[in-house]
Amino acid sequence: MPVIDPYSRSVSEHREPPRGLRSTLRHLGPGMILAGSVVGSGELIVTTKLGAVAGFALLWFVLLSCFVKVVVQTELARYTIVSGETFLRVFNSLPGPSGNRPAWLTLPWMAAFVVACVVALAAFVGLDEADRGASSALWLAASVIAVGLVAAWIAGRKQSLDARVSSRQPVQGPMNWFTWLWLGSMLLVFVNSGAILGGTGQVFEMVFPGLLGEGGARYWSILLAAFCGAILLAGTYASLEKTLVVLVSLFTVVTVICAILLHWTDFAVDWPEVATGFSLGLPDQITTTLVLTALAMYSGTGVSFSEMWNYTYWCVEKGYARNVGEPQPGPAWRHRARGWIRVMYTDATVTMVVYTASTICFYLLGAAILHVQGLDPDGRETLSVLSAIYTDGLGNWAAGLFLVGAFFVLVSTVLSGTAGTSRMLADVLGVIGLIDGSDYAVRLRFIRVFVVVSLTLYSIAYWLFENPPQMLLVTSSLIAAVMYPVLGLGTLYLRHRKVAPGIAPSRPTTIWLWVCAIVLTVISPAGILLALAIGAGWVHFG
């Protein structure tokens, strides 16, 4: 049976959208992969940490994070379903500076640059704390730049030689400013995802303490990377969807049960405490750590920047775009497009309910148990401290329940995040002309290659830092400060300049899109500036 390419479509191949709720539910799925990615980093680690640091005061900000980004996610998916173009191809055509891909920007150059970054980072981490100053960082950065320039010269010479031998110029696809920005952000995404993989390793170290010697979580993370790689290399979109539906359902049920059982413990939450979280107030003392934790929660809960663009790929691989078919004149195509957009909206709404319920439960558990006791999950003890949200409230017997739930949460995030990252890395090669993006067999081959590359870099990142919360705080906040404004404003551009009137969103949806785009543009950059100002002593709160 031939493999169907979900990234291609034609006028003759299409499928009518389902009618009725029961039929629609059978076509859901991309959202469950999305939820698997959302809950691991945002909910279990960062949201619980924010509850531990801030108490109940920022519950309103947690809910804002869950609700404010979903419309941008769905409108990005709307354009992908209608146009059939992938996210990177769409955003590579945004207005602004652009040009052909430089001849030196090849796969070997990318590999050399990433290796140079890893070596420089390892050298910096290996220095004594007293030596980790600005001068050391500048020397190492200069070394990375030097390696990049030498590799660029070699790659450019090779391209010129190949062109003379073959009597034709190599294909050089267009690259705009966003594609450059996205490629640079991938270095931080690897560190971000390494935090999740390391958290999963810490779970196994808690179950089997000392089995792999000192620093056992590092070795467990490598073994788990191999396990996740085997699942992704052997599976397909359908198998990934089924796996994550099971994992998401299990950890959501476990978390909700624990939050309910909290009512019959010494850490029971009463309504006046919860009500303080809806007063739009702030904690009594605002520190740099609190601001960065709040920003990391904001960027990691609800739909983060990576889930926004990954969701468009899951909608394509589920078949929504292919089912619509190539645009045709007349009402039939518009009806079909609106029908599959409705299915996508249902999928996104169900997902939002799932991750919002999990987010609220994790935040309340962190505020009710960890904040009261002054516990802050950090460093190698992150998962052992987080286990207190179960054991301190329900008893030691709940430790096993926490470990099972944490394993499901974190593994689902590693699987979903790696699958999404590998698809986008393969796609960008097609966008900039390094591979034939229309050849699905080539795309699949590079997706598998990037699964291995991504998991390897995740393992290296955790091996170097061993502090999941700090890894998430720094990388999530920095990427969000840059990407959220671009995603919000870029989606507005698509809405008003690219989407045909017959399939455009309604007026209320458009108004909400404007509100959310403005919020995304302001919050993260303002939060970074506030954290810097507090750290420098320019402003004081509490």
CA quadruple 6, 343, 89, 474: dihedral sign: negative
Q: What tokens were used for 423?
A: 């698809």
pLDDT digits (tens, 9 = 90+) for 27-67: 888 887 877 776 655 567 788 888 888 888 899 998 988 88
CB 322 within 8 A of CB 9: yes
CB 307 within 8 A of CB 424: no
3-state class (DSSP) for residue 340: helix
Q: What tokens were used for 307?
A: 């889930």
Q: What span, in angstroms and rounded, lies between the C-alpha atoms of 420 and 206? A: 29
What is the pLDDT confidence band of residue 224, given thresholds at 50, 70 and 90?
A: very high
CA-CA distances (angstroms) from residue 49 to 271, 366, 375, 383? Answer: 21, 7, 9, 11
Instruction: Evaluate if residue 526 carries a pLDDT over 70.
Output: yes
Q: What span, in angstroms and rounded, lies between the C-alpha atoms of 44 and 410? A: 8
CB 363 within 8 A of CB 294: no
Q: What span, in angstroms and rounded, lies between the C-alpha atoms of 186 and 475? A: 10
CB 475 within 8 A of CB 188: yes
Instruction: Evaluate if residue 235 carries a pLDDT over 80.
Output: no
Predicted pLDDT at 343: 95
Distance of CA 142 to the CA centre of its chain: 30
Predicted pLDDT at 346: 94
> DSSP label at 541?
B
HEC-encoded secondary structure of 60-98: HHHHHHHHCCHHHHHHHHHHHHHHCCCHHHHHCCCCCCE
Rg (CA), the chain: 23
> Residue 12 domain-assigned?
no
What is the pLDDT confidence band of residue 405, given thresholds at 50, 70 and 90?
A: confident
Predicted pLDDT at 379: 67
Predicted pLDDT at 41: 56
CB 78 within 8 A of CB 155: no
For residues 305-326, one letter each, b for 16 or more C-beta atoms within 10 angstroms of the residue's C-beta and e for the rest, the string is bbbbbbbbbbbbbbbbbbbbbe
Strand partners, 175: 99
The structure tokens 């207005």 sit at 95
Instruction: Evaluate if residue 542 carries a pLDDT over 70.
Output: no
Q: At 389, which amino acid appears?
A: I
Predicted pLDDT at 29: 85
Predicted pLDDT at 169: 54
Predicted pLDDT at 412: 81
CB 378 within 8 A of CB 469: yes
> Residue 147 domain-assigned?
no
Q: What span, in angstroms and rounded, lies between the C-alpha atoms of 143 and 150? A: 11
Q: Which of 202, 204, 281, 127 is nearest to 469 (CA)?
A: 202
Predicted pLDDT at 220: 93
Residue 31: which domain range?
Answer: 21-101+172-535
Q: What tokens were used for 123?
A: 């050298």
User: Who wins on pLDDT, 337 or 276?
Assistant: 337
For residues 46-74, one letter each, b for 16 or more C-beta atoms within 10 angstroms of the residue's C-beta and e for the rest, the string is bbbbbbbbbbbbbbebbbbbbebbbbbbb
Q: What tokens were used for 501?
A: 């009137």
CA quadruple 144, 121, 196, 480: dihedral sign: negative
> Residue 275 domain-assigned?
yes
Instruction: Evaluate if residue 389 carries a pLDDT over 80.
Output: no
What is the average pLDDT score of the chain? 85
Of the listed ranges 189-193, 235-239, 412-416, 527-531, the least confidently predicted one is 235-239
What is the pLDDT confidence band of residue 281, given thresholds at 50, 70 and 90?
A: confident
Q: What are phi and psi of 286, to 5 degrees?
A: -110, 115
> DSSP label at 474?
H
pLDDT digits (tens, 9 = 90+) for 115-164: 999 999 899 888 877 777 778 888 888 999 999 899 888 887 776 666 55
CB 432 within 8 A of CB 446: no
Query: CATH code at 73?
Result: 1.20.1740.10
Of 248-257, 350-359, 373-382, which one has max mean pLDDT?
A: 350-359
> Residue 109 domain-assigned?
no
Name the percent of the chain lying above pLDDT 90.
Answer: 33
> Residue 123 domain-assigned?
no
Mean pLDDT value of segment 376-401: 73
CB 327 within 8 A of CB 10: no
Instruction: Give me the number of domains the chain comprises.
Output: 1
> Residue 113 domain-assigned?
no
> Residue 154 domain-assigned?
no
> Residue 122 domain-assigned?
no
pLDDT digits (tens, 9 = 90+) for 62-118: 898 888 889 999 999 999 999 989 999 999 999 999 999 998 898 999 999 999 999
pTM, two decimal places = 0.90
User: Who wins on pLDDT, 316 or 306?
Assistant: 316
What is the pLDDT confidence band of residue 246, given thresholds at 50, 70 and 90?
A: confident
Mean pLDDT value of segment 260-278: 79
Predicted pLDDT at 163: 59
Of 251-255, 377-381, 480-484, which one has max mean pLDDT?
A: 480-484
Instruction: Evaluate if residue 1 carries a pLDDT over 60.
Output: no
Of the listed ranges 12-26, 405-419, 427-441, the least confidently predicted one is 405-419
What is the pLDDT confidence band of residue 452, given thresholds at 50, 70 and 90?
A: very high
Instruction: Evaluate if residue 10 carries a pLDDT over 60.
Output: yes
- Provide DSSP, 34-55: HHHHHIIIIIIIIIHHHHHHHT
The number of beta carbons lying within 10 Å of the beta carbon of residue 452 is 16
